[in-house]
Structure 1
Amino acid sequence: MPQIFSNRTALAALCRRHRIRRLSLFGSALQGGARPDSDVDLLVEFEPQAKPGLIAIAAIEIELSPLLGGKKADLRTVQDLSRHFRDEVVRTAEVQFESA
């Protein structure tokens, strides 16, 4: 599993605070094709009762950036993904955090 996050303890705390059930890596950072200016694609699944809006998701992306060495986080839910590649992303994404 790629070690993309600098501090797993801080990542777990952030995920719990924002009621994230699972956070998974996909895209170029996972496939090894990321450039220095690439963002980090993350598939997020929130707890069922959590319903964050766009502003809350943008705030989470900003909070994640320092844990990614300053890289921009790009959070996507399964519903956000194009139907053309959704199944592939879900199948190949690597879990970085999962609540117990």
Structure 2
Amino acid sequence: MSNHTHNSIQEKPSKIPKEVRKITRELFELNLKPKTIIEVLHERGIILPSISQLNNFLRTIKSTKLSPTSISLGEIEQWCLESSQSIPESHDTPFVVSYQII
């Protein structure tokens, strides 16, 4: 009877290595989709992150690069105040004619 061990099983690292994150960030800047990013990393012989690791990392990049997706009532009110001060020259510029916040 032999002993059963799991020593030969390699654990997947829980974090994406720094160098892979750097390359992934560069590929994200090129507007590549996650599947394409995985393919490029594979072609370069880089240890691949799991798809969930990649998606989580890309979500983090997006949240730090992009402005928040929600706007507060105070921000809307401030925009209305600023936009109602004058009528813009361009027909394509939005502005507020009248507003009421209850």
Higher strand fraction (1 or 2) = 1
Tell me which interval the TM-score lies in, with the shorter structure as reference length. under 0.3
Query: Computing the radius of gyration over CA atoms, which structure comes out larger, 1 or 2?
Result: 2
Q: Which has the higher contact order (CA 8 A, sep 6+)?
A: 1
Give TM-score scaled by structure 2 length. 0.26
Higher helix fraction (1 or 2) = 2
